[in-house]
Amino acid sequence: MGETKKKTTHKTQKQPQGAKPSGKPAPEVQKHRFSDLDQYLFGQATHYEIFWKMGAHPDRVNGKAGTWFTVWAPHAQEVSVVGDFNNWTPDVHRMELTGPDGVYELFIPGVTEGALYKYCIKARDGRLLFKADPYAFASEKRPGTASKVARIDGYKWGDDRWMEKRKEFDPKTSAMTIYEVHPGSWMKHPWSEANPEGFYNYVQFAHAIVDYVKKMGYTHVELMGIAEHPFDGSWGYQVTGYYAPTSRYGTPKEFKYLVDYLHKNKIGVILDWVPAHFPKDAHGLADFDGEPLYEYADPRQGEHPDWGTKIFNYGMNEVKNFMLANALYWIEEYHVDGLRVDAVASMLYLDYGKRDGEWVANKYGGNQNLEAIEFFKHLNSLVLGRNKGAVMIAEESTAWPKVTGKVEDDGLGFSLKWNMGWMHDFLDYMKLDPYFRKYNHNKMTFAMTYAFSENYILVLSHDEVVHLKCSMINKMPGDLEEKFQNLKAGYAFMFGHPGKKLLFMGQDFGQLREWSEERELDWYLLEEDSHRHLQEYVSDLLHMYTKYPALYANDKGYEGFQWVNANDGDRSIFSFIRWSPTERNNLLFVCNFTPVARHDYMCGVPKLKQYRLILDSDDEKYGGSSKDRQKVYRSKKGECDGQPYRIAYDLPPFGVAVFTF
């Protein structure tokens, strides 16, 4: 590296002993020098707060204010810091190699918060690469690609009550209804020269989204596209700044305000998290120091042919440490309540999206990525072990066993799994003309054969309303009135079915157009009765869900669910019971999926009790024709649907009735 780089301060100044504990004041002066212990922990993938050492950190050394810069680039010949403070000139601020692991560092006096910078990396073949900082806390707003010196300490949290209460959250027995939101397109300001894109900043978004979510009755918000990404059209799934809340909407501390404000209003926060792949942008992680570093070197292992992205090397400890610490970073430093882990199947299978010759088998000749499996076990044990009540959610689309199973039982250790099988069957059924539903009755009942094999979330996500798949309302058959009736019946069935719930923004009021990240939702539709009625109906479903423990507290086994009649295919009617763990306020669901009224409908019931109607999809307030309908029904003795008692109910076309008993 040359004698000019071997400064005496590097040899004589004491090194810190270990990592900075999360949330505690940093040690004095030399807190960001990379010690032998740091090297060891980093090499073992156990330096869980390495983001306090890597990256850019304002500090004072010998009384001078400046910033420490630290980066991992083991294949580099030389590394220097370039930025607006040195006119982006290489070699002005050359970094020092701290040890055999390829970590470089440098303190630059005079560089303070807000400075833009990159690393100039001289590869072994002589090329100069200008790379953004993998550990940067903030980034320049796109189309700029520089990193930005930022502090994330010093924010005064006000969510102590929420964080303490969160420890009681159990993904098996607690209520959870998730509102999936893309902040940049949920709602926009009118165009102005000052804000031509119309983005709400994090603070404005916090207040607007809380008002909406509280009104509707969701328990959690899942935010898309928070980690920095260069291309809006990727929706945040091709990340270049894993430690930087996107600058599109503001600063890291403003993002903390968003989480804090949601918590103060008793709303949980989940982030989309993308450990499966990263883009090939020149300033990003790909070939970071001139050679594969964060990705597998063999392109058969290190690239997704369909996506044009790189695959993280889960066998490299320093790369694993980067991802493990990143998960903890969002949950512990930003108080996020959980991570929805994207594209889990693509990580588990070596041949995912690949043809013969495009992948490499594991050491046993199989297609399982053994290193990714170990990574997930480590990840979930670490995050959930340190953060009681947090959740790790797998977007996993195959029948991989024990995704939510305990690690000690050879499971992956996730809290919850997206139920993609239910989603596909449900949508296939709902798209059908009602005449043909009788031939596909099993699509709505099949999910109950495996409903408790994992801890599931039933999802109707953004993926289902893009790329010519139609909006949710336009998937429904019939004229516009029938579309709304179909969707109401479908949503009621979903909320009665075991599993937590997720709806993407716009689905709760019948967004007509497919979602696009370029425009806000069609809020003007709420001026029309049909959309406003659907919104009120979904809100009542959400509030019903959280009011009655029968709908969430017994999600873990068949003791919480019972079919009354799963075989009425000719009439396309489903009836079932959700049992409360207290045996009080049990719920009976009856769902009619045809436009045929059943005035003489008889439903079997298990007890000689009163059955109180608490939801009628044909109610006038939802745009229906029911007025002053009878609210209480006394069961009568007489076998029906295999039950000893029965009630009679005038079931409307596409009618849904929910009774409590």
Active site residues: 342, 395
Ramachandran area for residue 312 (φ above 0: left; ψ -120 to 50: alpha; else beta): beta
Tokens 């030389």 map to which residue?
Answer: 78
| 304-310 long-range contacts, CB within 8 A, separation 24+ | 304/277, 304/346, 304/352, 304/353, 305/353, 305/354, 305/358, 306/353, 307/277, 307/353, 308/279, 308/280, 309/238, 309/277, 309/278, 309/279, 309/280, 310/277, 310/278, 310/279, 310/280, 310/285, 310/286
Q: For the chain, what is the radius of gyration of the CA atoms?
A: 27
The number of helix segments (H) and strand segments (E) in the chain equals 16, 30
618: which 2 tokens? 């044909």
The DSSP 8-state label assigned to residue 626 in this structure reads B
Distances (CA, A) of 415 to 166, 174, 456, 577: 14, 12, 9, 25
Q: What is the DSSP letter of 462?
A: G
ω into 16 cis (within 30 of 0): no
Distance CA 93, CA 440 (A): 68
CA dihedral over 544, 512, 342, 211, signed as positive or negative = negative
How far are the Cα atoms of 44, 218, 501, 660 from residue 542, in angstroms, in the given order? 45, 6, 9, 16
Q: Please name which of 216, 214, 219, 241 lies closest in space to residue 230, comparing C-alpha atoms.
A: 241
Residue 79 near residue 118 (C-beta atoms within 8 A): no
Other beta carbons less than 10 A from residue 546's beta carbon: 15
Residue in 354, 300, 290 with CA at minimum distance from that of residue 129 = 290
How far is it, in rounded angstroms, from Cα 246 to Cα 242? Answer: 10
